[in-house]
């Protein structure tokens, strides 16, 4: 029994001296609790909206103030017609638009009712439903508080709400999940498979063959990446085909642009995988690093399911350095909104910059190891 206690004591000391093990045992659970606690939520804050106020009377101004008073909805812009609303939606500047009809106050006073229209971005069905439900509640409160105070008991005007979901009228969940799953699968396959390449060389002891190779380290890294570019691209085409033929997800924009953006995203994921492989000593470490650092952030912090804008600022910063966050935005814009290059060039530039940075850092790390 004394020997057993001594053995257990030795194991405890071994764990306490191993910082990596302590990080996994103590740091990871805390990090996951914090991330899930802040990220896994359907709540929203500071959701950008646009208002088309065709009345410009005191009552319409009061309605706008009521909608934005709590801070959940933020007035991003006022527009002059519906064309500007659609342009704002395609640019990603707003998630909801409120259209107040002409002679709003006069119509309520004379006819006893008027209709306010809500336009929501249905490419994110859950988010759009939450925004519309909240706006409906605010309009109902406005009717109960403001109009009741200005009206007699015998005459109580009512504000009706007409809702229209753009880009996904039926709020089909496949419109949300197909782009997200495509980004997730391409990230895991590309990054995970390439993260094993150099790690395999180290583990099998064949690094010496690369050390005596006449190739420049950059060419070695690119050579490791090249076979996976084609394979990952084929996976992307298969996912798109299944999404369109089986789930009926449309491709409203240019298919060529969509495929080009997919190649750019694959390059970013492959570059990240190479970077992980240059830091990992074994294939197991490379795979675990890929899963932990890529899978959870891609699911939770990429605008795939949960709105990134509603998360705390530190999580938003982390989300913005995840390649999937920008690729999902491109997929939704091109597939569902039918936008062109003029609307997605910024996201494409960010993905291209990430690819370049990841490759440069990977090459530097690989060159140091060669020395």
Tell me the per-residue pLDDT of 156-196, one tens digit each, with 9 for 90 and over: 678 889 999 999 888 888 888 889 889 988 888 888 877 77
User: What pLDDT does 39 receive?
Assistant: 58
Share of the chain above pLDDT 90, in %: 18
Sequence-ordered list of residues with C-beta below 8 angstroms from that of 89, at least 6 positions apart, any chain: 97, 119, 121, 166, 167, 337
User: What pLDDT does 176 receive?
Assistant: 86
- Fold entry, domain 47-166: abc type-2 transporter like fold (3.40.1710)
Residues shown for the chain: 371
Q: Distance (Å, rounded) from C-alpha 287 to C-alpha 191?
A: 9
User: What pLDDT does 20 receive?
Assistant: 64
Question: What band does 371 get if pLDDT is binned at 50, 70 and 90?
Answer: very low
Other CB atoms within 10 Å distance of the CB of residue 330: 27
CB-based contact 116:138 (threshold 8 Å): no
Mean pLDDT of the chain: 81
User: What pLDDT does 370 receive?
Assistant: 44
- What does residue 121 show for φ and ψ, rounded to 5 degrees? -85, 100
Sequence-ordered list of residues with C-beta below 8 angstroms from that of 369, at least 6 positions apart, any chain: 207, 278
Mean pLDDT to the nearest integer, 113-125: 89
pLDDT single digits (tens) 34-93: 666 665 666 677 889 999 988 888 888 888 998 888 888 889 888 888 889 999 998 888
Q: Distance (Å, rounded) from C-alpha 142 to C-alpha 58?
A: 13
Give the start-to-end residue ranges of the domains of the chain: 47-166, 174-370
User: What pLDDT does 369 receive?
Assistant: 46
Q: Distance (Å, rounded) from C-alpha 33 to C-alpha 289?
A: 19
User: What pLDDT does 330 receive?
Assistant: 94
């Amino acid at each position: 029994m004394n020997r057993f206690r001594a053995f257990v004591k030795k194991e405890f000391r071994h764990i306490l001296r191993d910082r990596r093990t302590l990080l996994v045992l103590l740091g990871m659970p805390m990090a996951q609790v914090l991330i899930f606690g802040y990220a896994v939520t359907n709540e929203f804050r500071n959701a950008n909206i646009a208002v088309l106020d065709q009345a410009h009377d005191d009552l319409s101004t009061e309605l706008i103030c009521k909608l934005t008073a709590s801070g959940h909805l933020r007035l991003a812009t006022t527009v002059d017609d519906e064309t500007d609303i659609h342009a704002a939606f395609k640019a990603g500047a707003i998630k909801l638009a409120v259209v107040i009809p002409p002679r709003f106050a006069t119509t309520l006073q004379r006819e006893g009712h008027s209709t306010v229209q809500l336009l929501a971005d249905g490419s994110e069905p859950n988010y759009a439903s939450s925004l519309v439900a909240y706006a409906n509640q605010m309009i109902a409160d406005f009717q109960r508080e403001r109009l009741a105070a200005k009206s007699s008991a015998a005459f109580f005007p009512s504000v009706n709400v007409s809702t229209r979901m753009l880009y996904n009228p039926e709020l089909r969940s496949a419109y949300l999940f197909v782009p997200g799953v495509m980004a997730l699968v391409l990230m895991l396959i590309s990054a995970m498979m390439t993260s094993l390449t150099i790690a395999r060389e180290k583990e099998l002891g064949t690094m010496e063959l690369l050390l005596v190779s006449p190739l420049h380290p950059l060419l070695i890294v690119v050579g490791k990446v090249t076979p996976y570019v084609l394979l990952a691209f084929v996976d992307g085409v298969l996912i798109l085909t299944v999404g369109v033929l089986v789930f009926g997800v449309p491709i409203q924009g240019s298919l060529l642009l969509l495929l080009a953006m997919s190649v750019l995203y694959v390059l970013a994921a492959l570059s990240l995988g190479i970077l992980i492989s240059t830091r990992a000593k074994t294939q197991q470490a490379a795979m675990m690093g890929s899963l932990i650092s890529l899978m959870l952030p891609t699911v939770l912090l990429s605008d795939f399911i949960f709105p990134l804008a509603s998360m705390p600022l530190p999580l938003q910063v982390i989300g913005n350095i995840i390649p999937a966050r920008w690729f999902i935005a491109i997929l939704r814009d091109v597939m569902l909104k039918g936008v062109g290059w003029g609307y997605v060039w910024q996201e494409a530039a960010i993905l291209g910059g990430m690819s370049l940075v990841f490759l440069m850092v990977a090459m530097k790390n690989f060159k140091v190891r060669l020395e």
